[in-house]
């Protein structure tokens, strides 16, 4: 339908999105469709699997749930019906503690944690468009994982509704998940070749 991260017209909704071919992956941000890479790289998948493993182990027998792409996250402006919502994204990984936002198709509402793993074709969207979107929607913790630099950049939503100065962590560190008290992630296995 278009190149990855190629902007088309404004005005699309989740109702339109649900009619698009199943063999194409798209996201909508404020009614603008963005094509997604056909398949992530092996390195991207290695990081996603390891991070998912560590988070899943921590969340065992806890109320929060972890999901990985493809997983539709509908982010409405107000109380509009799903088909009228103009923003639906597929974060690489998200953690949802409020199970009331879960739907049969994915989730509708703001998760507690979103993680995006950078790839050359989506880096700009993840660091700019999605950063601004997640901040505006009130995602309390947003991680950007950079496989090339072997870093995790963490943004926390402040009381003013804005992301403050990021914390940047390297592969040799163990970091805390702020939204999940007691959860520590060892970064070295994420970046191990």
Q: Which domains, from first to last, does the chain contain?
A: 39-191 (3.90.1570.10)
Residue 22 has pLDDT above 80, yes or no: no
Q: Note the pLDDT tens digit of each residue in 106-138.
A: 999 999 999 999 987 778 888 889 999 999 999
Q: Note the pLDDT tens digit of each residue in 32-72.
A: 888 776 677 889 999 999 999 999 999 999 999 999 988 99
Residue of 39, 40, 75, 57 whose CA lies nearest to 185: 57
Name which residue leads in pLDDT, 105 or 48.
Answer: 48
List Cα–Cα distances, 154 to 78, 116, 157, in angstroms.
Answer: 27, 11, 10
- If pLDDT is split at 50, 70 and 90, which confidence band does 3 have? very low
Residue 152 has pLDDT above 60, yes or no: yes
Residue of 24, 122, 133 whose CA lies nearest to 70: 24
The mean pLDDT value of the chain amounts to 89
Give me the percent of the chain exceeding a pLDDT of 90: 65
Which of 4-13, 94-103, 127-136, 151-160 is the least confident region? 4-13
> What is the distance between the alpha carbons of residues 91 and 13, in angstroms, rounded to a whole number?
18
Alpha-carbon radius of gyration of the chain? 16
The answer to whether residues 115 and 51 touch, using CB atoms and an 8 Å cutoff, is: yes
For residue 33, what are the β-bridge partners? 28
Residue 1 has pLDDT above 70, yes or no: no
Name which residue leads in pLDDT, 39 or 100.
Answer: 100
> Which element (helix H / strand E) includes 17?
helix 14-17
Task: Report pLDDT for 117.
Answer: 94
Task: Report pLDDT for 10.
Answer: 65
> What is the distance between the alpha carbons of residues 193 and 137, in angstroms, rounded to a whole number?
35
């Amino acid at each position: 339908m278009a190149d990855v991260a190629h902007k088309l017209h404004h005005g699309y909704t989740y109702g339109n999105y649900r009619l698009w071919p199943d063999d194409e992956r798209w996201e909508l941000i404020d009614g603008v469709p963005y094509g997604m890479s056909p398949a992530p790289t092996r390195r991207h998948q290695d990081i996603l699997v390891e991070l998912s493993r560590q988070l899943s182990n921590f969340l065992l027998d806890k109320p929060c749930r972890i999901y990985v792409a493809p997983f539709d996250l509908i982010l409405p402006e107000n109380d509009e019906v799903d088909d009228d919502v103009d923003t639906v994204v597929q974060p690489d990984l998200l953690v949802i503690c409020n199970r009331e936002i879960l739907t049969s198709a994915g989730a509708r509402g703001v998760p507690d944690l979103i993680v995006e793993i950078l790839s050359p074709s989506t880096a700009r969207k993840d660091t700019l468009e999605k950063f601004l979107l997640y901040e505006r929607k009130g995602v309390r913790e947003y991680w950007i994982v950079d496989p090339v630099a072997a870093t995790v950049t963490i943004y926390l939503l402040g009381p003013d509704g804005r992301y403050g100065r990021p914390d940047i962590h390297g592969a040799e560190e163990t970091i805390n998940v702020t939204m999940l008290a007691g959860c520590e992630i060892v970064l070295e296995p994420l970046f191990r070749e």
